[in-house]
Structure formats: C-alpha cells, structure tokens
A and B are shown apart, each in its own frame.
Chain A
C-alpha cells in the first residue's frame, strides 16, 4: 500500500482525532444538552467523555494486535477475506453518510447564517474544490492540515469568552437539581459529540510512535472535553435556563452581543472562520471513505474515487435538496450506527481477539 509509508506524528494524530470530534455538533450542543438535562448538562459531557475514552482505549488495544494494518487488514487477518470486504463496505457506508451529513449541514449553516440567497448545491460544489485538493493527498497532509487549523483557529475561543461579561453564573446552581437519573439517561445526547474517535481504527498503523497511541487518544478526547465544557458552561451561564432552548444554534447566537468600534456582527466573521474547524471533521471522513473504497478495489490511488465521491455528493444534494429537518433525521440515524461502530463493535472485537489469544496460548501449552 502506498499510503502505509506515510506517517503522522503524535501531535498530528491527537489533533486529527480532536478535529474530527470538534465540528458542527458544537454549534447546537448547548441547546441539545439543555433540552435533555437542563443546566446540569455539562456533567453529562464528563460522563460521556469517560465512556468514549474507554471505548477509544479498547480500540487501541484491538489495533495493537495487528499494528501494521488498518482495521480492514485486521479483520481480514482474523476472519478471512470476505469478512474483511464486508466490513469495508460497512465502513464505506458509515463514513460516507457521516461525511455527507456534516458536509450538507455545513452548507445549510452557511446558507442560514451567511449567504441566504445561494443554493445549497452551489455551496457544496464550492466547498468540494478545497476538499478535493486536500483529501487527494495522503494522511500526512491531512494530519498537517488538522494541526495547522487547530492552532490557527484557537483565537475563536477567545472571542467566545468575551460575551461572558454578561454571564450569570448562578444559572448553573443548584448542581444536580434533577438528580443522577436524568444525567444518566441523557448521556446519549452528549456522546455523539465525541463520535469520531473511531477513525483511530484507520490512523493507528500510520502513527510513528505506536506506544503513545493510548495516551494520544486520551489527550484528544480530553482536549475535546475541555472545548465542549468551555462552550456549554459558557452558554449555560450566558442564557437563562429556559431561554437557551429557544435558539437553534446558541453558540453562534451568543457572539451577537459583541461589538467593537471597527467591527459589528462578529458572529458572521467567527462563523466564517469556523468553516475551517468544520472542514477538519469532514475531510478525514471523506479520506477514510475513499481509503476504504480503494482498499476494496485493491488500488493504490484514491483520487478517482474521491472525484466520484464528490460528484455523487453534489448530485445527491442537487437532486434531494437537504433541509435541517431531513439532515437532523439522517444525523440521528447515523448516530445510532455510530454507537455500534464506535462502542459495541470494538468491544466485541476486543473480547474475541483476547479470548482467541487466551485459547491459543492454552492450546500451545
């Protein structure tokens, strides 16, 4: 395989995973949490962080058994060619739909916030150009991109702290007003924000220092947790507990109160910049989709597949113009699948792999 040679550093690995987790979800996250769990929503985040970190550590444990290949090679190794191919098809579908959902949602947000007069498929076409230029390269380039974007967009977090001068911290009190049960039941709303760490299945063989993979994935999850916590707690303190559910994207809405002498409506500027952050979610998903298809076809070069993917994407969007409702519906479906792919699947695989190892060792004795 051509791509197997290219390697990513630990920081690129961390920021790739973090970039995938940080995306469109953040814009609506405070509202979704507030609807489910009130102002205790931030504690749900910590709980889901715990769960997703556990799942990601399991993924790393599984990948350690076959360190030179991706999950597809591992499945082929353990279960044979056909299972590997079937798994590849499932992964293609999963990541393609995920990429589509976020790509379409990105365009919808642009339409809603910045360019109301431009059709969604035109925006998709426009965004496809840089996406093609970046994804056609290898994982190294994606890693560099994620790294660069993370440091370039860190300042948006500072603008986010500015509206907090109007914050009322009492909104967060009393802690645990609804009891533990509500928090436990609303974990599902928060856990989807962490979805994306399953790309570790594909990143692991490219990592230079494999022994740091576990630490790296924990750092990535924690970094995302910190970002999510800053954003949700900020939003909870800024809005009153009932008001927050009125806005669709409370995270952008908050920035409306900032005004400088030289700039107003900062949310337009910040949201335009946020497109970079969203791109770090979409691009790795696209890459893994075409990576899987070219693995299936046994080809080295994924460029042609990528062109096809983007063309199909444009066609789908042009024929079935997405709306927020439909997009949300699709998102909920793919999130269910995400629970299986990111949580249930690695757990089962880990159980199988370690049991098998155990039996083999006994058989040798």
Chain B
C-alpha cells in the first residue's frame, strides 16, 4: 500500500510574518495552496490553468488569474515560458522563477515570491498572475514591478498615514543601504572638504589610529556583518543569538578598540545592515546587499563621480528591465502619476479606484468613488 504524501500543517510563514494580516502561510502541497487563494477570492472568474513541468519529478504548476482582469498577452507569455522549461525536475518556485524571468543577469529580482495567501490574492485582484508550484511553499507573482517589492499586506490593513510612513522608511532604507557606505568612503577618501570642520574633527579623532584607507575598513566590516547574517540564518535560533552577540557586540567592540576600524565606520555599517533588513522582500534585500559591493569599489576609485556612475548603471537597469514583458519601473519610469496614489505613500483605500497601469489589466476600474462616511453630522 502506498501511503499518501506526508504534509505539513498550515502555519504562519516565518519569513513574511505580519502584525495584522492573516496568520496563514502556504505549505508544500500545491492543491492546498490553490485552495488557500481560492478561499480569498471566491469568484467564478478566478481561473486555474494546470500544467506539468519536469520530466522525472513532474511538478504540477497551477496558474491562477482573474480571467476578466488579467492581460491575456501577459498570460500567454507566462504560459509559453513555463511550457518551454525542459528539465528533469523543478524543486521549488524559486528555481522555476529563474527559468522564466526576463533578465537573469540583472541583480534585481523580476518575479515576486511570496508565502502569504492574502498577498498573493491581493496581487491577483490587481490583475497580476500567480503561479503555484507544487512542493514549494512559495508562489510566483508576475508581472512584478519594482515598487511591489516594497509593499506588505500590513500596509493595507493599517491606517494610511502609518502605512505611508513605513513605506517611505523602506524606500529611504533602500537608498541608505546602497549609498551610505559609498558616500562615507567617497567623502573620506576624496572630498574631505565637503564635511564641515566640527564634524571633520570628530571624524578625524575617530580615524586617528586606523592604519587602513577607508575602503578597506569598510570592506572588512561589511564582509564581517554579511558573514554574521548568513551564519545566523543557518543556525538554530538559540545558537544564532549567541553568534549575534559574539559577532556583533564583541567583534565590533574589539575591532574598534584594537584600532582596526573606526567607530564611525561601525555606525555606518550597522545602519546599512539595518536599512537593508527593512526591505520586506528577502530577494530585494539580498539584491541590495550585493549591489553595495561594486558601488563601494566605484566610490573608492572615483569618489562622488563613481557613485553617480553606479547610480546611472542602476537607473539603466531600473528603466529598461521588464517583467514578463511589462515595464519593471512603472509607474516611475514610464511615468504615470495616477498610480502614485499607491507608491511612496498609500492614500486612503477609497481613493484608489483603478488597478495599476503596469499590470495592463483589461478592466482598469476596481472600486466605485462613493463611500459611506460614518455617521456624518449635519
């Protein structure tokens, strides 16, 4: 007798936990994942297309979309790409995503992976398409735009001012995580005259005993913190904490006292690390952490000009990338101001009446302008 496949019970995703959203995460069973999405959108227009990928370990792949909303060309494109995948087996959603994404040589992720059914459902309602891969607790959301990596479900369940503030913090964190170490290196090694005298004196006092140029100092610390992070991820929670204490506090403190790195450098690196963790999507956060290193090299060679050139390269990426054939930078580039209602700040829900332009949905309108206004006093 063959036993049914063992499966895990439904629990909250540890990577994408939320404060106010549903405490439910996808599991490794594809049919259950589909059911979790269907529970959110109980509508006859929610269509499920099934296909199999892989020759040996056949994986069932289900494509979920709203048939009267999702753009047919994008859907066709996605289907064709999945059909073309010809491998032994696809073990996870991330693996499939790598086969079907548009620009494998770009550091930016172009398809969004999520473990949250409510997030996946909200993306389907926006007109996007969700691909569930059996045996993987992640689903692929596409076409993704740059800004969708900065959104969480909590943004929509908390009040709009709070949500907007948090969202602005995330974009700010993104900029800090990429540019702060570079700006520090560039100013200390090339443009010392930009810093006002008082600040310069305290910087000088902190760097007095350091034998290395700033970029070596920065590389030592950045690599240390990346290793600590990776070590912490793989270890069980209790040892992980110990590593954090040993690494973060003891090494940091001792390195400063031994005169290998300066205090200010430790502050810069710590800020950068915190800023990169504020980005809700793990893939995007990792991308930011990788981008930082070439940027630091550019800054150490050419100062501000290096930073600007690095910025231009990132911009070139941002502007020209595509996700399933639709522009990745929408609504910033190509510019489309009506979609800015739900970009850097999230305006109240009732003011967002249309689906984002970037999904090129067949049905743009999603809400009516009239709203109940509580017990309005006359």
A133 at the interface (CB under 8 A from B): yes
Main secondary structure of the interface of A (DSSP, over half): helix
Distance in angstroms between the alpha carbons of A365 and B46 in the assembled complex: 63
Hey, which chain A residues are within 8 Å of B195, CB to CB? 263-264
Contact A130 B307, CB 8 Å, known A262-B196, A264-B193: no
Among the listed stretches A21-29, A141-149, A180-188, A349-357, which one makes contact with chain B, having 4 or more residues with CB under 8 Å of it?
Answer: A141-149
Hey, which chain B residues are within 8 Å of A169, CB to CB? none
Q: Is the CB of B307 within 8 A of A264?
A: no
B156 at the interface (CB under 8 A from A): no
Distance in angstroms between the alpha carbons of A255 and B151 in the assembled complex: 39
Hey, which chain B residues are within 8 Å of A114, CB to CB? 190-191, 303-305
Residue in A12, A123, A265 with the greatest tally of chain B CB atoms within 10 Å: A265
Partner of A273, one of B303, B308, B334: B308
Main secondary structure of the interface of B (DSSP, over half): helix
Hey, which chain B residues are within 8 Å of A268, CB to CB? 191, 193-194, 304
Distance in angstroms between the alpha carbons of A328 and B286 in the assembled complex: 47
Residue of A with least CB distance to B191: A268
Bitwise, A262-281 to B at CB < 8 A (1) or not (0) is 11110011001101100100
A178 at the interface (CB under 8 A from B): no
Contact A272 B308, CB 8 Å, known A141-B319, A141-B320, A145-B315: yes
Q: Is the CB of B316 within 8 A of A133?
A: yes
A118 at the interface (CB under 8 A from B): yes
Q: Is the CB of A275 within 8 A of B319?
A: no
Residues facing B in A112-153 (CB within 8 A) are: 114-115, 118, 123, 126-127, 129-130, 133-134, 137, 140-141, 144-145, 147-148, 151
A87 at the interface (CB under 8 A from B): no
Q: Is the CB of B304 within 8 A of A261?
A: no
A334 at the interface (CB under 8 A from B): no
Q: A133-B312, A275-B308 are in contact. List 5 more A-B contacts (CB 8 A).
A: A118-B302, A129-B313, A133-B316, A140-B334, A268-B191
Query: What would be 18 A-B contacts, judged by CB atoms less than 8 Å apart?
Result: A12-B334, A115-B190, A115-B303, A130-B309, A130-B313, A133-B316, A134-B312, A144-B319, A147-B333, A259-B196, A260-B196, A262-B196, A263-B194, A264-B194, A265-B194, A269-B194, A272-B308, A276-B308
Q: What 3 A-B pairs have minimum CB-CB distances, sorted nearest first?
A: A130-B312, A133-B316, A272-B304
